[in-house]
Amino acid sequence: MFRIQQQGETVVVVPEKDLREFDFMEIEDEGSEIMKLLESRSARSLVIDFGNTDYYGSTALSFFVKLWKRVRLNGGKMAFCNVSPHEVEILNLTHLNTLWDLCSSREEAVKSVQC
């Protein structure tokens, strides 16, 4: 479900498919690896690259908030990149667009969390 890479103090997560409501258990199970990296403090910041997706549901949004809280405890930042118009609309409707930088490329997102 997620491809996970680490670039220095930044974890880059790439969802491999849309994160729908019925994927709750899979999101939680595979997401625990991301959380472990952040809890170990080997990484401070997080970038999520949505290049392979067009949709995420409320379960995924809840998971993103959980990750963001952990990132903040680490003194880091979180950014999204390659976000589809549909995904941007979801963020705007939920007002979560104010929490994270929305970047057009992964490189831009990684730079934004390293500042």
* Structural domain contains residue 114: no
pLDDT of residue 115: 72
Q: What is the pLDDT of residues 46-104, one digit of tens each?
A: 999 999 999 999 889 999 999 999 999 999 999 999 999 999 999 999 999 999 999 99
* Structural domain contains residue 106: no
* Structural domain contains residue 102: no
* Structural domain contains residue 110: no
Q: What is the pLDDT of residues 16-59, one digit of tens each?
A: 998 887 777 888 888 888 999 899 878 899 999 999 999 999 88
pLDDT of residue 22: 72
Show the domain range for 77: 2-96
Q: What's 72-115 look like in SS3?
A: HHCCCCEEEECCCHHHHHHHHHHCHHHCCEEECCHHHHHHHHHC
CATH, residue 7: 3.30.750.24
Cα–Cα distance, 91 to 4 (Å, whole number): 22
* Structural domain contains residue 43: yes
* Structural domain contains residue 107: no
* Structural domain contains residue 115: no
Neighbours of 42 (CB within 10 A): 13
> Total structural domains in the chain?
1
